[in-house]
Amino acid sequence: MAKPIKDVFDPQKFLAKVGAGKTFLELPKNRHVFEQGDVADSVFYIQKGRVKLTVVSEQGKEAVVAILEPGQFFGEGCMNGHPLRIATTTAMEDCVITSITKDAMMAAIRDEPKFSQLFMSYLLTRNGRIEEDLIDQLFNSSERRLARLLLLLANFGKEGSPQPISANISQETLAEMIGTTRSRVSYFMNKFRRLGLISYNGHIEVHNSLLSAVLHEKPLLRERD
């Protein structure tokens, strides 16, 4: 007797059936999803493309705080009572995004246990990433922070093989994300390439040797003979 096919939860198919309170957004590169200070009343799910989160301080200084990929949520602060957006979100390439109102999101969490598990898993993963980023800023050099960021952007540690890093992610963006200058990032990137840790081919390819250097705390500053 054939075994029944296991019901695999597909968030994209589920989100396509949310119904009232759900809309799809097709955004070209550089278009804002929302801006810092906008009213917060929806949660967003990335179907396609990458989204950049930036924050501007009271002194006018801008910083990139995250780069989000397909399968990730953002704007969830409205679920915790935040009335206004605390960041600006911008499409880094052509994007397809699902927008879900707060009420529709609450109903989905209440009525669909698998969706609730998916969203909870996302929140826990994001909180863990924030903690790791804080530790990284406190204890690691800017060079090692850059190495870790490159590994994260290339999806090391996730299912499948590492992915090339899009040319849309500039050295200036990398500098903002690790809290250093673009010139320092340029210096480190050139050195990583010289050491064979990364390569360029219209995009950045991260090699396993960079992961090995970070995991084993090898001194990245030491040039190879």
- 17: exposed, middle or buried (Cβ count in 10 Å: 0-12, 13-18, 19+): exposed
Could you tell me the pTM of the whole model? Answer: 0.80
CA–CA distance, 204 with 7 (Å, rounded to integer): 37
Residue 126, both tokens:
């994001």
Domain 11-133 = CATH 2.60.120.10: yes
Q: What order do you get walking across the sheet with 32-34 strand by strand?
A: 32-34, 88-91, 51-56, 62-68
| Confidence label for 217 from pLDDT (cuts 50, 70 and 90) | low
Fold of 140-215: Arc Repressor Mutant, subunit A (1.10.10)
Residue 122, both tokens:
């996302």
Domain positions in the chain are: 11-133, 140-215
Dump pLDDT digits (tens) for 149-182. 999 999 886 766 788 998 889 999 999 999 999 9
Residue 216 pLDDT exceeds 50: yes
In 3D, which of 187, 192, 224, 188 has the Cα closest to residue 205? 192
| Confidence label for 52 from pLDDT (cuts 50, 70 and 90) | very high
* Residue of 131 and 12 predicted with greater confidence: 131
| Ranges assigned E (strand) in 1-78 | 22-27, 32-34, 42-48, 51-56, 62-68, 73-74
For residue 196, the 8-state DSSP code is: T
| Confidence label for 225 from pLDDT (cuts 50, 70 and 90) | very low
Dump pLDDT digits (tens) for 94-120. 999 999 999 999 998 998 888 999 999
CA–CA distance, 131 with 111 (Å, rounded to integer): 31
CA–CA distance, 122 with 119 (Å, rounded to integer): 5
